[in-house]
Structure 1
């Protein structure tokens, strides 16, 4: 279980760092405004997406599990797929198309590991509840 936990935190931490980095760039790098314009998005979407990524990272790292956490993973999944499609439709280089898909792979590993960790923790928790009653 320790190996799973370490791998989970490495993948989740890496993905979260990349999302925080991109969100920061949305607010501080003037070239990002040009990129969003190139992709055909209005400027307010850049701000909206940056705020959404920051909130998503906070929720991804928050110590809770359940359906709400799954919605966080779903939101980031939609974001990564949409980014890849947008770059492809704009005729961007293959690196711009594949980068979100690679990050999606990292996110998928994080999600699968979280599910495995929850499967291991849940029976232990239930056993503790039963024995303490």
Structure 2
């Protein structure tokens, strides 16, 4: 018979928040790094960022707006405090990424293997996961 002692129950209860916190920071780090890199690329108009927006009919200046929003969103998510600002940043990332995906779909610009549609949806999913896993200190 497999019995659990009181100390083992406490250890299991304590392990869950640590695992959840670790998952939060891993997912949030991946999200923040990816979005920041994308934002910097857009601000600098580096690589394919120019073609990525102009090929679907957006004016080039949109890269400055999107790049700035992305970097501000990453800062809001990473800094301590400001839980309401974090809520706005998470929703902004979600709408920005799903909007990017839909923009490529409507322009019939799917990229190789649907990359232009799938990657923003992956970022949106990472944003949802980060939001759902955030510790109490980062919630309203």
Q: Which runs of 5+ in 1 are unaligned?
A: 123-133
Aligned to 1:71: 88
Which residue matches 1:102?
A: 122
Q: Name structure 2 gaps, 5 residues minimum.
A: 1-16
> What is the match of residue 125 of structure 1?
none
How far the C-alpha of 1:28 sits from its partner, in A, is 4.3
Q: Is the contact made by 2:45 and 2:63 (CA closer than 8 Å) also made in structure 1?
A: no
Which of 42, 45, 54 is the equivalent residue of 1:37? 54
Mapped partners of 1:32, 1:104: distance in 2: 19
Aligned match of 1:118: 136
**Cα offset, 1:39, TM superposition:** 1.6
Tell me the CA shift for residue 34 of structure 1: 2.0
User: Cα RMSD between the aligned structures?
Assistant: 1.9
Q: How many matched pairs?
A: 119
Asked if structure 1 preserves the Cα contact closer than 8 Å seen for 2:41 and 2:49, the reply is yes
TM-score, normalised to structure 2, is: 0.78
Q: Which has the larger radius of gyration?
A: 2
Q: Which position in structure 1 is the counterpart of 2:65?
A: 48
Counterpart residue number, 2:20: 4
TM-score of the pair, normalised by structure 1 = 0.82
Which consecutive aligned stretches of 4+ in structure 1 deviate over 6 angstroms post-superposition? none
